[in-house]
Amino acid sequence: MARKRRAGETPRPTSKVTGSQAARTDVTTAPRKAAAGRPPATVDNPTRPRDPQYLGSLAGEVALRKFATAERDRMRRQIYDQVLMTSRSLDGPNFTKVSVGDLSRMIRLYDDLFFGGKVLKAAEAEGLSFQLSSRMTSVGGKLVTQYPSGSVDGPRKFELVLSSTLLFQTFEDVSRSIEVAGCLCRNRLEAMQRVAEHEFVHLTEMLIWNDGNCNEARFQSIAGRYFGHTDYQHNLITQRERAAVKFNIRVGDNVAFAHDGHNLRGRVNRITRRATVLVPNPKGQRFSDGHRYVKYYVPLEALKKC
Ligand SMILES: [Zn+2]
């Protein structure tokens, strides 16, 4: 799930968050028909990965089903309560620890309540794993589909990843309204749920159609009918925003910091988890401006503007 551009930011080319490894040649809108001669699987129980009959039936359901606001809100709240209650890591709605188990339990609850348990059953028949990433500093979540044989018609493996860094930075020290997928979030757990819902729709689309994109109509129709999403981006708080709001530091600023007992001065070149500061040094690497610098990765709180 991509981050929403804020006013004044220069547009960057949109990258495909899901299916980035997938070739875009498969544009079929429905799963392939079962090959003649293969034993049909029962609709409720996929006996083999990528079972056309099972996925065809699921496609029919996903294409039409709509949840009323009250029912959706009740089920989301049930998931919220249950994830909090059963977790050993989550210490509250604005948790300071979260585990992969929390994410997988949350996704399973979504599957049970919204999809009758049908999505994970089929995804797990192919291969499904969950991950929390501290390195994703702009993207809120992603669904990676891998094709180990190199063919988009071959076996697949799905990985659903959420950015723990973005969740932890939000509802921390910069306060403004937080929206994920067009829904206002009141705490970290609600934000996590909204990102998980978005990635769950990606998983469903990839599973059934082996293709999908959250800026296209089919994704947005599913995300709207199931989860009431009105947007496909988030405005979770990035380190770059924290740097500007809390430390008044921006890319291009001259800064000072202590390193091994020395006071160094340089310029902020990039802000991800830490700031990349370029310090002029004749022994350093030559940069595009013709000067030589040494790169330092400095925590924001260690920088002083000068
Ligand atoms: Zn997306």
- pLDDT means per 10 residues, the chain with 306 residues, are 72 38 32 45 67 96 97 98 96 96 98 97 96 93 96 96 94 88 96 98 98 96 98 91 91 96 95 94 94 96 93
- The pLDDT score that the predictor gives to residue 273 is 86
- How confident is the model at residue 35, as a pLDDT? 43
225 alpha carbon – ligand 1 mean position (Å): 16
For residue 188, how far is its CA from the centre of ligand 1 (angstroms)?
19
pLDDT for position 69: 97
Report the separation in Å between the CA atom of 164 and the middle of ligand 1, taken as the mean of its atom positions. Answer: 17
End-to-end CA distance of the chain: 36
- How many angstroms does the Cα of residue 281 sit away from the middle of ligand 1? 42
Say whether 151 sits in a helix, a strand or coil: coil
Beta bridge partners of 251: none
Q: Tokens 């921390």 belong to which residue?
A: 172
Report the distance separating Cα 215 and Cα 168, nearest Å: 26
Collect contacts of 210-218 with beta carbons under 8 A, ≥24 apart. Answer: 210/22, 210/26, 210/28, 210/145, 210/152, 210/156, 211/19, 211/22, 211/24, 211/26, 211/27, 211/28, 212/18, 212/19, 213/16, 213/18, 213/19, 214/1, 214/2, 214/17, 214/18, 215/14
Distance of CA 268 from the midpoint of ligand 1 (Å): 30
Q: How far is the CA of 214 from the centre of ligand 1 (A)?
A: 5
> What Rg value do the Cα atoms of the chain yield, rounded?
22
**What integer pLDDT is reported at residue 14 of this predicted model?**
31
Cα of 167 from ligand 1 centre, angstroms: 16
At 15, list the tokens: 């990258």
Tell me the backbone φ, ψ of residue 71, rounded to 5 degrees: -70, -45
Q: What CATH number matches the domain at 249-305, 3.40.50, 1.10.8, 1.10.3470, 2.30.30?
A: 2.30.30
Task: State the distance from the centre of ligand 1 to the C-alpha of 184, rounded, in angstroms.
Answer: 18
Domain extents in the chain: 2-237, 249-305
Tell me, in angstroms, the distance from the centre of ligand 1 to residue 19's CA.
10
Compute the distance from residue 270 Cα to the ligand 1 centre, in Å. 25
